[in-house]
Amino acid sequence: MAIWTGILCLFTYIFMRDGGFRQYDPAVEWAILALFWLFGLGGCSSFFGMPRFRMTIVNGQVTVHERWLLRRSSETFSLKVMAEPVVIRDKDSEGDPYFRCRVVTPAGRSIIVSESNDEEKVRAVCKTLTEAIGRRPKSRPDGNEAG
């Protein structure tokens, strides 16, 4: 998104400096430029608004770090109170099976550890996490889980 926005800024500068590209009616050129900015800002909002998670398990303590572009938060709790990982079966936008390995923190924060159309890949990640916390994974169909 940073590259897209940088190129968009460059083309906007060239557009303003030269008074348009003179290939179409000026109103059409301005509308096209405005559409690029609309999609660019929407994409930046979506991309930079998504948190990045990192979960570490050390000496019986679980630390969940959540990072956005301009802020961070972390939550630390005992491994004993950590909820069991759950493999959630869902469907993607095309109706194909979609799987998520989800963990809920004691504060109620839902963390998607892995997600994919490949069930074995998600189950492998869930199994690794389960082994790290010493429990068995659960599996359930739940189309309403968002993550």
Residues 108 and 83 sit within 8 Å (Cβ to Cβ):
no
DSSP 75-105: EEEEGGGPPPPEEEEEE-TTS-EEEEEEEE-
How many percent of the chain have pLDDT more than 90? 27
> What is the per-residue pLDDT across 26-57, written as a single tens digit (0 to 9) for each?
899 999 999 999 999 988 888 877 777 888 88
Q: Crossing angle of helices 26-49/2-18, nearest 10°?
A: 160
State both tokens at 83. Answer: 């909820």
Sort strands 72-78 and 110-116 into parallel, antiparallel or unpaired. Answer: unpaired
Cα distance between residue 1 and residue 14, in whole Å: 20
> What is the per-residue pLDDT across 69-83, written as a single tens digit (0 to 9) for each?
777 888 888 878 888
> Can you list the pairs that 16-24 forms with residues at least 24 positions away whose Cβ atoms lie under 8 Å?
none
The one-character DSSP state at 79 is: G
Across-strand partners of 76?
63
Q: Which residues are within 8 A (CB) of 40 and not within 5 positions of it... i.e. 6 or more apart? A: 1, 4, 5, 8
Domain extent listing, the chain: 2-49, 52-141
- The pLDDT, as a whole number, for residue 31 is 94
Instruction: Just give the CATH number of 52-141.
Output: 2.30.29
